[in-house]
Amino acid sequence: MGNRRVVITGMGGICALGGNAADIWTSMKEGRSGCRPLVIEKRDLKTNIGCNIVDYPEDDGIEKRQGMTMSFISRIAVIAAREAMQQAGISMDTTDPRRTGSVVGVGTFGTDALDEAYSDIFLEKKKRTHLFTVPKVMPSGPASHVSISLGLQGPVFGVSSACASGNHAFASAIDQIRLGRADVMFAGGAELALVYGPLKAWEALRVLARSECRPFSADRDGLMLGDGAAILVLESYEHAKARGAEILAEIAGAGLSADASDIVNPTVEGPANAMRNCLEDAGISADQVGYINAHGTATQANDKTETRAIRDVFGAAADKVAVSSTKSMHGHCLGASSAIELISCVNAVREGVIAPTINYTTPDPDCDLDITPNEARERNVDVAMSNAFAFGGTNAVVAVKKI
């Protein structure tokens, strides 16, 4: 069972670049920025910009009773999952629900529900919180609500490993299929970062950009937070072929590692090990990778460290591989980032287009990669790799290949 091929048959997403996966990809190719003024109550926030969701549907189709128990993070996960399900042509009438599951990564949890609870208690002086605060803030809430909304009865669980959560969710879903526990898995990430409480905490870290996100540029000054979700349908190759599904790409491999060093400062060795493990799992060499969607947060430490890690793993091939950070457009959606970024990787191998790193102004000798500055580029790509490195020193890399 461990050798089962895993393919991607559907994609769904919602973030600052669009309300569906197709619009997100179009925005990426056109190099659009999702950075906008915040639309939340700012109170005493110094931060006034972020990558807000702007195309949320007027009617999200979520049943009222279920909606009462949902944080917004679960709502956007369900929206993305429904889109992915539709593209994949999956129906629980014809697919065994007991062999179909979901795993959704989150960096935090239902932060809007917790923020509301604290406001009710400490500002409004109410005696109790909302009845469903506990289920709203569960980190497993998005995965559970995807299961409830779509009728999935197979392996269902949440994953939380900060900014690597989306790729850890993909790796976990791949394992479920390879091990024969499921035929189909809805996997990805969701995040709600643009909430007062979390923003105050991020301000204290002093890593937020003042005006725009400029990954790998010498004048980069920090990351830009964003909200979003992306869910992809993963299934065994045999299952997809048997039902006549259109296969968008194949999972080449996944690699995981830990820095075992510092809770916030990245190492070179940890990310490098994750990339090596991914290449080994895929059974390919570094020079076969045509594109890397970098973690690329636009902090001074991350971009420099990631560059060194890529050079360590790729050697001479590091000068040939196309690299970009789409966080320059959709922002850092924390647990959802790598899920949104896999949309660009799948489309890179399908269309032969590398999404750009926008806002790039000044070369940095410590970031001497081909980072696809400012404009998309046409290039034949057989294998694309997505990097995700997180606080806590947890690293997850996923690669997809043309089929």
Known catalytic residues are: 163, 295, 332
Type of residue at 199: L
Question: Two tokens at 295?
Answer: 């973690």
Give alpha helix (H) positions in 161-299.
Answer: 165-178, 196-205, 237-242, 269-282
| 13 closest CA partner among 67, 59, 71, 77 | 77
Q: Give residue for tokens 């939380």.
A: 160
- CA separation for the pair 132, 71 (Å, rounded): 10
Residues in the chain: 403
Side-chain half-sphere CA neighbours of 86 within 13 A = 11
Q: Helix and strand tally (H, E) in the chain?
A: 13, 14
Instruction: Tell me the angle at which helices 72-88 and 141-150 cross, rounded to the nearest 10 degrees.
Output: 40
Chain centroid, CA 53 distance in Å:
15
- CA separation for the pair 106, 73 (Å, rounded): 9
| 346 closest CA partner among 13, 3, 1 | 13
Run of H or E residues at 339: helix 337-351
Instruction: Kindly report the number of other CB atoms within 10 A of residue 67's CB atom.
Output: 13
Question: Two tokens at 355?
Answer: 């999404």
Question: Two tokens at 217?
Answer: 């540029």
